[in-house]
Structure 1
């Protein structure tokens, strides 16, 4: 048995009247197609450990009130779904200067679908209701998942550590994951790499109490950066063994070299997520009003002497495999200019 519900999330959160068989079949079709295509863009989230017994947390609250016993209590499920719909609306609003709340213009209105079974809740928000019939929920001209703009969460009963969250936009909206659902991303290579780089660049990775001079610190920081850029995995001990500094002057080991507070959060060894590295060190150099150059990893290219500034000339070294295509592009530009 399953319970299906639909809500309009606009200026208000309003539940649709009792759904008919056609509407239910269409909701099931949409959910099934989307769930069957989650493999490439799903991310696992979790309830923060300190809130796993907090009855005010929306997912803990749902588990305690809606996932009860061996039969579905429709009345309790409805109460919890109405609460979630209103909470979603709240997170999609901003506060005006006079204290009143209004809809955030940057967040699209949409339809919220819910499917509750004995052991699972699926919440799906369509942000563009032009792709489905607003009355019957039938997909218009078929259903192409890649062209949809939706957010979805799959919550399994009593499972607080593997909650599947998907946003078909480029990144998962904070209002959806951390606001509405009050979740944190489960620690993985993405989070570990991101927090490692943030720690390095915000100067919270290396222990400042060691007493490195400004030059020594800058040199060590670059060595750590090079390690992150050039390697596919991170190991605290391995990284420390590669660092070059005056060990007679600074008698430290891996544990004392790094600020302990950071490794209370991130893992001591993990796979380095290259997408995070590229995103973190990607730079755009504007050379005129009409021209700019994007470099995936500026630090690496500078280290390899692939970019150099001489007077007003920015010199780029072209890899042999790309020389031909660059010549073709320039030649084509001259011919059509």
Structure 2
């Protein structure tokens, strides 16, 4: 969206409507908008970028939460991360949900019935508590049953609005929950935030090889677009019985799990979170698992991982 050409190592995707390659790149073949994009209309910087820079100037740290595969607990981890940051009253935290076709953050945070309000300063986030604000397309749907059937340009436009039109105020943390894969939403977030700075990405996986394969693609994506990988989180790493406290493997790490993947790829394994059935219950009821079940081994694992993320980022200055 911001560059004039497509880098040689760029992923196979739309080059952006203002690129010189718009409508001409291999990825454009078969696209319904190819003829429009290839026209001789003047191309230039996205007019949203200066507005995004101004909004993001007030955000100290920006973290992406990624997963190559759906169903690995990425949104649940994002919610716990947001709650943990907001537990410190000195921190102002925001969660931006760009999983446009499957926005689960409002439900997990217990604010699914809220709506977005606008003012002279822009859209107001929905607040879980005084220092934890959230923005999601889920607040804009007539009902939870409505499907979002949007093509790339409309998705990109909404993400730009979330970044330039939402009155986030002064934030210490902005955590961005993304959908599975490496598609429109991921590219838009990275390109829109490139100048403002992204502190890094946390990748979430489960132990089995079918999930690890997709995470390898996510690692490749991060490296190609220049997003630093803070580390890898292994979710659902064994089942903890709430009664006897014994742990058993549900998703067997047949190829060595996240530990081996982290070693192979030269990234840090931030930690492993065991599967506690009360995590799902907390998500359904929209309450903080960390607060409701402080004695769970999963809570200990979550907090250790979050402490490690803060430790890594505290060694460096803010991205903006």
Give me the TM-score of the superposition, normalised by structure 2. 0.21
Structure showing greater Rg: 1
> RCO higher in 1 or 2 (8 Å CA, sep ≥ 6)?
2
